[in-house]
Amino acid sequence: MSATCPQCEASDRSVPVSLALADTTEPLEEPVRALLAPPPEPKPARELSGGAIALSALAAIFAVVGILSLVRDREDLSGYDAAYRAGYLAGPFILPLILLAAAAIVELVARSRRRPGSGSPEEAAHRQPHARVWQAGWLCRRCRVAFFPEASIRPGFPASPAIPLEQFPHWVMTAAERAFGAQARPVAG
Ligand SMILES: [Zn+2]
């Protein structure tokens, strides 16, 4: 498989970006490698499940109520032994701690039910549009430009012009947005 470089209009020196990075016979210089590196993996979803949020909120409410009652009551505990005093002070926080533990368990169960990696290729593209665009990138070793052949990113997506390597990371982001409606993200680093 080869692709024609839009600058020199030859294909003899063009190579997919991913292969160029892995090529040990003709290794790329470090600055070029950095520019052509794959986009950072999207962070796993951070949203908590509804149940975990509700339990955490309850825990917070009970903790606040507990603190308020301790502050308000200010009982004289000097006549009691250390264990009783500790129990008295810790008491209001036991329920919030149990609720937090329950929230953690609910969250773990919810996460194990979310199955990453399943679904259609369209869904996969929607999840990892930047990686998909990056996968489609080519490098012309002669011109030292990157390019995307016609329909390489997505069926019907037009061919790119010759892209200076410094603009390659930015191009991946904007093409992902145009091709898959991905949210543009700040480039890491
Ligand atoms: Zn070329």
Residues with CB under 5 A from ligand 1 (ion): 5, 7-8, 140, 142-143
- Using CA atoms, how far residue 24 sits from 21, 62, 130, in Å, is 8, 60, 25
Q: At a CB cut-off of 8 Å and minimum separation 6, what does 153 contact?
A: 132, 133, 136, 175, 179
Q: Ligand 1 centroid vs 12 CA: distance in angstroms? A: 9
The reported pLDDT for the residue numbered 15 is: 96
DSSP of 125-168, one letter per residue?
Answer: HHHSHHHHHHHT-EEETTTTEEE--TTSSSTTPPPP--EEGGGH
Structure-token match 């951070």, residue found = 46
Q: Ligand 1 centroid vs 1 CA: distance in angstroms? A: 16
The reported pLDDT for the residue numbered 155 is: 93
The reported pLDDT for the residue numbered 87 is: 79
Is residue 186 very low, low, confident or very high in pLDDT (cuts 50, 70, 90)? low
CB 140 within 8 A of CB 14: yes
Q: Ligand 1 centroid vs 91 CA: distance in angstroms? A: 73
Q: Ligand 1 centroid vs 162 CA: distance in angstroms? A: 8
The reported pLDDT for the residue numbered 118 is: 47
- Token pair for 68: 């308020």
The reported pLDDT for the residue numbered 26 is: 94
Q: Ligand 1 centroid vs 161 CA: distance in angstroms? A: 11
CB 163 within 8 A of CB 153: no
Domain boundaries, the chain: 14-43+119-180, 50-113
Give 62-120 pLDDT, tens digit per residue: 888 888 887 777 667 777 788 887 777 777 788 889 999 998 998 888 877 765 554 55
Q: Ligand 1 centroid vs 38 CA: distance in angstroms? A: 21
What length does the chain have? 189
Question: Which of 24-28, 52-56, 71-75, 91-95 shows the lowest per-residue confidence on average (mean pLDDT)?
Answer: 71-75
Q: Which of 29-43, 64-78, 165-179 has the highest mean pLDDT?
A: 165-179
